[in-house]
Structure 1
């Protein structure tokens, strides 16, 4: 079980590192854009195109990390009206099952999207980098979201099974 904890912790550290690095690169790119435009009255052609790469990674890794942390806004009014802990546990399992199912579908679609992007040979206009570089963050993000919602689903089922009436 120690190896699983180590892998899990390392995965979260890597995600935080990617979010910090990508945020820093976005800020640096936007700062360079502002300085070039307003101080030197010039610009670097295609800089916005480069900023897309860390922006994609920040967005999708951030979404996965938010899925792990579960610190997002919810409108779960049904649990307020449910009487009894067992009913609330059932509701959590049902919600986790729906979330896991939908996110798994999105993860599958992201696989198809990346395959299509590779096969089409899509590349950026100015720098000519392959478009699957920023787009692969979609696959990684939804893959991680699927993992986190699946783990949440399993925990919910275990809690429901262990519940004593």
Structure 2
């Protein structure tokens, strides 16, 4: 199990190196484009047609990569009420493992749905109205993120399983 976690840790470093600069660039881009759109529309009375298409594409990727980073750091929202009602560490560790398994099953279902959506988008060939950007650019963010969610949930599963099993030997 430690070999798997070691491999996952090495891949995690590469994923972090790739995603963090992309998130920074996308955040800055969305902020600049939104400010530019507001200034040109409100102050100059000259709307920029199609700007919202580009903002939407960037925002989809930004949101999905932000969710991946939250999953990577295990900083996403959780409802750990078991820790409030129970002080038994074995029970708490079991429920952490159970929650991770449920999340993993849901992520696999989400990934299948995202793949079907991406496949449909590629077959349909739909594009935006102003710049004719293919819709699969934004829709592919759902599939990429879901695969990365699965990756991190597999990591979490092995960590939770290791934690649960180690309490039995301790």
Which residue matches 1:121?
A: 125
The answer to whether the 8 Å contact 1:79/1:91 transfers is: no
Which residue matches 2:12?
A: 8
| Aligned 1:2-151 pairs, distance under 5 A | 5-151=9-155
Taking only aligned residues, the RMSD between alpha carbons, in angstroms, comes to 1.8
**Where in structure 1 do 4 or more consecutive aligned residues deviate above 6 Å?**
none
**CA distance, structure 2, for counterparts of residue 6 and residue 102 of structure 1:** 25
SS at match of 1:73: coil
Q: Report the more deviating stretch, 7-16 or 19-28.
A: 7-16
Offset, 1:47: 0.8
> What's the TM-score, normalizing by structure 2?
0.88
The answer to whether the 8 Å contact 1:18/1:57 transfers is: no
> What's the TM-score, normalizing by structure 1?
0.91
Uncovered stretches (5+) of structure 1, i.e. residues with no partner: none
Aligned length, in residue pairs: 165
Offset, 1:3: 6.9
In structure 2, relative to structure 1, the CA distance for the partners of 1:11 and 1:69 (3 Å cut) is same
